[in-house]
């Protein structure tokens, strides 16, 4: 058995006016709890350091730059890196990244047990829109504030296993998991901020959104025989509610633990990476069963074109 004790650190809401210092203190408390419970790895959500700012329209995009981190680590998050190294816990969290040459990404990082960043992922599937949309009940301006990630879907060897990352909307796309699956991924770490109601369909509320969350993570885990750790930022941020429902999913696609609240809440589960082997060697033995000669449209065509 290759066990990793994983802590999924769901976070409750972060209000627009709250600073990173307050948030980092909450993250440290979750990390201390994770350490006390024997965790090897702690996974925080997408944009863990701030409110989900893409809901706020700013005419001048540069006015949003205050939500972005110009270096990682920086002074605000140094306590997290120091504490993780002291606890010998690997960690992953999401943040808005502003590069030295002026590019904006919705990013997640992964560290080893010493606090060294070993992996970086930049969100590829950006949902929402780029301009103010008066038809929506709330804005989702990720296409305004971020560029699509430019790093692909890499995986890394960490804690004796093969790990990958994805960010929120990525989890709804089978391509996300499959590209990592083709690199032998054993555990996929995913943070999310998902509004509780669809801004374009008022009757799609929290129950259905939680269902879609489970459906996506469970399918990704099963079809690639890997663990999926899906971690929410949840609750009411300045009157805008986000679903909770953080889950750890095993390589059979079964949920082994699920958050009950919309607050800071830690889920800890022992994940055996060797449990990924059976599926990878049998029904999802890609080398034996995939038929790439029939998959060309996946990469040659973006939108659906129905027959005439």
Distance CA 303, CA 250 (A): 32
Nearer to ligand CDT, 105 or 192 (CB): 192
Question: Does the footprint of ligand CDT cover residue 128 (CB under 6 A)?
Answer: yes
User: Is 46 one of the catalytic residues?
Assistant: yes
Beta pairing class for 104-111 and 117-122: antiparallel
Return the range that interacts with ligand CDT (CB under 6 A); candidates 69-77, 190-198, 249-257, 268-276.
190-198
What is residue 297's three-state secondary structure?
Answer: helix
Torsion angle of the four alpha carbons 297, 301, 302, 303, in this order, in degrees rounded to the nearest 10: -90
- Stretch of 23-31, 33-41, 187-195, 247-255 contacting ligand CDT, by CB under 6 A: 187-195
Residue 176, interface with ligand CDT (CB under 6 A)? Answer: no
First to last CA, the chain: 53
Shortest approach of ligand CDT to residue 110 CB, angstroms? 19
Q: Report the residue from 26, 172, 241, 280 that binds ligand CDT according to the rule CB under 6 A.
A: 172
Number of chain positions touching ligand CDT (CB under 6 A): 10
The Cα–Cα gap between 179 and 137 comes to 34
Contact 128/140 with Cβ under 8 angstroms? Answer: yes
192 binds ligand CDT (CB under 6 A): yes
Quote the tokens at residue 63: 């006015």
Q: How far is the CB of 71 from ligand CDT (least distance, A)?
A: 23
Residue of 35, 46, 237, 271 marked active site: 46
CA dihedral in degrees (254, 256, 260, 263; nearest 10)? -110
CB of 154 to ligand CDT, least distance (A): 20
Of 35, 97, 168, 271, the active-site residue reads 168
**Stretch near ligand CDT under the rule CB under 6 A, chosen from 14-22, 59-67, 83-91, 188-196:** 188-196
Burial class of residue 65 in the structure, from the number of CB atoms within 10 Å of its CB (0-12 exposed, 13-18 middle, 19+ buried): middle
Q: Which residues contact 58 (CB under 8 A, 6 or more apart)?
A: 64
Q: Which is nearer to ligand CDT, 52 or 81 (CB)?
A: 52
Applying CB under 6 A, among 20, 140, 144, 178 the residue interacting with ligand CDT is 140
Alpha carbons 225 and 242: distance in angstroms, whole number? 29
Strand, helix or coil at 180?
A: helix
Least Å distance, CB 21 to ligand CDT, is 24
Looking at 35, 97, 123, 262, which residue is catalytic? 123
Q: Does 168 bind ligand CDT (CB under 6 A)?
A: yes
Q: Where in the sequence numbering do the catalytic residues fall? A: 46, 123, 168
Contact residues toward ligand CDT (CB under 6 A) are 46, 127-128, 140, 168-169, 172, 192-194
């Amino acid at each position: 058995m290759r066990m990793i004790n994983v802590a999924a650190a769901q976070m409750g809401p972060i209000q627009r006016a709250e600073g990173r210092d307050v948030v980092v203190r909450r993250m440290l408390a979750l990390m201390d709890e994770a350490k006390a419970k024997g965790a090897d790895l702690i996974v925080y959500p997408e944009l863990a350091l701030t409110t989900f700012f893409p809901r706020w329209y700013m005419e001048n995009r540069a006015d949003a730059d205050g939500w972005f981190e110009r270096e990682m680590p920086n002074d605000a998050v140094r306590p997290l890196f120091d504490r993780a190294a002291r606890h010998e816990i690997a960690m992953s969290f999401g943040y808005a990244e502003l590069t030295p040459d002026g590019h904006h990404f919705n990013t997640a990082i992964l560290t080893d047990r010493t606090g060294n960043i070993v992996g970086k992922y930049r969100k590829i599937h950006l949902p929402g829109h780029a301009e103010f949309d008066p038809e929506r009940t709330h804005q989702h301006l990720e296409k305004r504030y971020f560029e699509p990630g430019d790093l692909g879907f890499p995986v890394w060897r960490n804690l004796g296993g093969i790990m990958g990352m994805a960010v929120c909307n990525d989890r709804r796309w089978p391509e996300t998991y499959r590209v990592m699956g083709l690199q032998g991924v054993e555990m996929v770490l995913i943070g999310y901020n998902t509004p509780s109601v669809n801004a374009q369909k008022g009757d799609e509320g929290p129950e259905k959104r939680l269902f879609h969350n489970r459906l996506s993570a469970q399918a990704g885990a099963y079809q690639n025989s890997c663990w999926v750790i899906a971690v929410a930022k949840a609750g009411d941020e300045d009157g805008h509610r986000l679903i909770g429902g953080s889950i750890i999913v095993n390589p059979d696609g079964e949920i082994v633990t699920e958050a009950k609240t919309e607050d800071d809440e830690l889920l800890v589960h022992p994940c055996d990476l060797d449990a990924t082997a059976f599926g990878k060697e049998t029904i999802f033995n890609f080398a034996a069963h995939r038929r790439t000669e029939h998959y060309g449209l996946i990469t040659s065509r973006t939108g659906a074109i129905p027959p005439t």
